[in-house]
Each structure stands twice: as C-alpha cells, then as structure tokens.
Structure 1
Amino acid sequence: MAVQNLPASGQRLRPAHVPEPGTLMVDIGRDCVGEFRGVAGPHWFLRPVCGGTEWEAKPEHVRLATPAERLSARTARENARSRGEVA
C-alpha cells in the first residue's frame, strides 16, 4: 500500500511502503507517537507506546517518528514499566 508520509519538517515525501509492525510513528492529527500495528482497509492502526487501545489513523496523517521522538517514547514506556503500569 503506497501512502504520502510527512516528515517532522512537514514536507511531503515520495510514497512509502507500509512500515513493519512495531515501527514508531507519529499521528500528526493527534500529535501522538504510537507503534504501527497493521492495516485495515484504508486505515493504519497505531497503539500507544505505553499500552492502551489502538486507534485508526489515515496513512496520509502518519509519519515516521524522529530519533528524538523515538527516544522520548521509549523513555516514557520504560518509566511506565518501572512504575508497574505496563508489563
């Protein structure tokens, strides 16, 4: 499935392939980082990094997380894990 992704700078990239499950993505509509889980029809499913319910996102509203966003998301997950909020 080909889609348009937006990098952090907001510039459009050439169409990209569907990411691998677990890839950290940013839903620019929600301004939220999530793990890519899969595709259902025209939507992509993302899951909050610290656990929770998946949400649907339009592929054109999703971009790869920057290195800083990935680090921040992983730190938040580890902090939640140390508090016993996620396994």
Structure 2
Amino acid sequence: MNTHKTIPEFTSYEEMEAFCDTQDLGKYWDQTEPAEFEISPQARRRYLVSVDCDLLLRVQHIARIRGITTESLVNILLEQRLHELELQQAS
C-alpha cells in the first residue's frame, strides 16, 4: 500500500494555507525541494487601521472571488485610488 500522496495543485494562497494547516506534511516530504531566502524587516510592515464592518465584508468577498488575500486587495485599491487623486491634484 502506497502511503505517499501527491501534493494537489492550488488556485490560491488561501487554498495552500488551508491544505498545510490540515495535513500531515510528512506524507509529502519527498515531493518538496529545499529553499533558501532572506527576509528583510523593512520589506513589509503592517499597520492597524479601523475599517467599517460592512466595508470589510465587501472587501473580503471580492478578495475571495479574485483568489487573493484581503490585504492584497486593500493594497491594490489604495494604490489605485491614490493614483487617481494624485492625477487630479497634478491637473
């Protein structure tokens, strides 16, 4: 009996996270590859910002549909809106 399973394909980081949180990864260890990386403390910082509950639910819903994290969608939306405001200010 083969006890080794194949790692499934994921369509989002959330799917991968859910898989890793619920599985014994020892069964998949032979399918992994070593990785080397460095993490810079300045690369990303988190800030606590109060968000209206209904607004947060809407953002989470759209993020789920797009297969991205809520954080990523918030950053995309902020970047787009700031760009629009900067263009308005420049004209």
Larger strand proportion of the pair:
1
The TM-score, its normalising length taken from structure 1, stands at 0.28
- Larger relative contact order, structure 1 or 2 (CA cutoff 8 Å, min sep 6): 2
Flag the structure with larger Rg.
Answer: 2
Larger helix proportion of the pair:
2
